[in-house]
A and B are shown apart, each in its own frame.
Chain A
Amino acid sequence: GDSVTQMEGPVTLSEEAFLTINCTYTATGYPSLFWYVQYPGEGLQLLLKATKADDKGSNKGFEATYRKETTSFHLEKGSVQVSDSAVYFCALTSGSARQLTFGSGTQLTVLP
């Protein structure tokens, strides 16, 4: 079945540091890929998406590129802020898109 593997956290960075959170996937067919973010005390919300190979999703300074050859969708940000502290989830949907499959989440803490 479909699966998503994320780098384990927690990740702690200083403000303005570069961020990479790795995500790889296994899926049949051609999945759509997503990053969701969960701020403290809130539900998840969509951060960015990519629906086909070589697409780059971007939002709020975050980027991720759909790499079919490496089955990866790594999340990057050039300069993190304290307000980026949250849990980040990689996810995919494929086939009939009846449901999302989530990774285990990566806790990010950004220190001032």
Chain B
Amino acid sequence: DADVTQTPRNRITKTGKRIMLECSQTKGHDRMYWYRQDPGLGLRLIYYSFDVKDINKGEISDGYSVSRQAQAKFSLSLESAIPNQTALYFCATSDLGRESTPGELFFGEGSRLTVL
């Protein structure tokens, strides 16, 4: 089983619908991240969380919200999806400086979202 699991892997929805992407991890890491990948733009950070009570906005948080339900779970919500939120979304975890390489992120396999 993957250490970082994202669900759903693929989703097609319509404009205005509420969508939730879920992420769970078995690595025991405190830090979790949501990124968005668009062709030619690389990865852009949406939100990140350093523990259950810590939520921080990233570069492109508008139109998104997150919930850190437990150390192992971090979900991303689109309250009212719009077509320019069509993208590949990645969840990642990190345990900066303790066991692993400082700055090393461990990624899920991605959730492809299409908003029609």
Q: Which residues of A contact B (CB under 8 A)?
A: 32, 34, 36, 41-46, 49, 51, 89, 91, 93, 97-100, 102-105
Contact = CB atoms under 8 A, between A and B. Distances in A.
A51 B102 contact: yes
A105 B42 contact: yes
A97 B107 contact: no
Given A97-B96, A103-B42, A46 B104 contact: yes
A97 B43 contact: no
Contacts of B42: 89, 102-105
30 contacts: A42-B109, A43-B4, A43-B90, A43-B107, A43-B108, A43-B110, A44-B43, A44-B105, A44-B107, A46-B105, A49-B104, A89-B42, A91-B103, A93-B102, A97-B96, A97-B97, A97-B102, A98-B56, A99-B33, A99-B45, A99-B48, A99-B58, A100-B105, A102-B42, A102-B43, A102-B44, A103-B42, A104-B40, A104-B41, A105-B42
Nearest to B39: A105
Interface in B91-111: 92, 96-97, 101-110
Nearest to A96: B96
